[in-house]
C-alpha cells in the first residue's frame, strides 16, 4: 500500500507516464462471483461512496452486500438480487499537475 505524500508514476491507463503525489487513499471493493472469486467485469465500489448507496446494504469493513429490490415499471420486471463485493486493494487520488487529479488503482502504478 502507498501512502499520502508518496510520489508515484502511472504506468497504465489514460494518465500513463504521468508522475504525481498521492493526496488520498481509498479501499476498493470488487463484486464477486457466486464461488467467491472476483468478477473483474462487475461493479467496483470506492469505500467513501458506500454511505450513499440508496438500496439496503450491509458493510462490515471487509465485505459489502447490496440487496437490490425487485423493480416493476409497466410490463417490465427486474427481479431483485444480492450483490456481494470484497476488499480487492487500494485506489489513489493523485495530483499530477497542480490541481489536476486522477484516480488510479494499485495495478496502474509503477514500482
Whole-model pTM: value is 0.84
Using the structure block, give the residue that is written with the C-alpha cell 489513489: 92
Listed in sequence order, the residues at least 6 apart from 91 whose beta carbon sits closer than 8 Å to its beta carbon are 25, 26, 27, 28, 46, 103, 104, 105, 106
pLDDT in tens, 16-44: 999 999 999 999 999 999 999 999 999 99
Q: Domain spans of the chain? A: 7-108
pLDDT in tens, 60-91: 999 999 998 888 888 877 788 899 999 999 99
Amino acid at each position: 500500500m502507498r501512502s499520502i505524500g508518496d510520489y508515484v508514476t502511472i504506468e497504465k491507463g489514460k494518465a500513463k507516464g504521468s508522475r504525481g503525489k498521492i493526496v488520498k487513499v481509498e479501499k476498493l471493493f470488487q463484486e464477486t462471483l457466486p464461488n467467491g472469486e472476483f468478477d473483474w467485469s462487475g461493479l467496483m465500489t470506492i469505500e467513501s461512496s458506500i454511505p450513499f448507496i440508496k438500496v439496503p446494504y450491509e458493510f462490515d469493513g471487509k465485505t459489502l452486500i447490496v440487496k437490490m429490490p425487485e423493480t416493476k415499471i409497466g410490463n417490465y420486471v427486474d427481479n431483485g438480487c444480492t450483490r456481494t463485493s470484497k476488499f480487492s486493494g487500494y485506489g489513489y487520488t493523485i495530483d499530477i499537475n497542480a490541481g489536476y487529479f486522477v484516480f488510479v488503482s494499485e495495478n496502474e502504478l509503477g514500482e
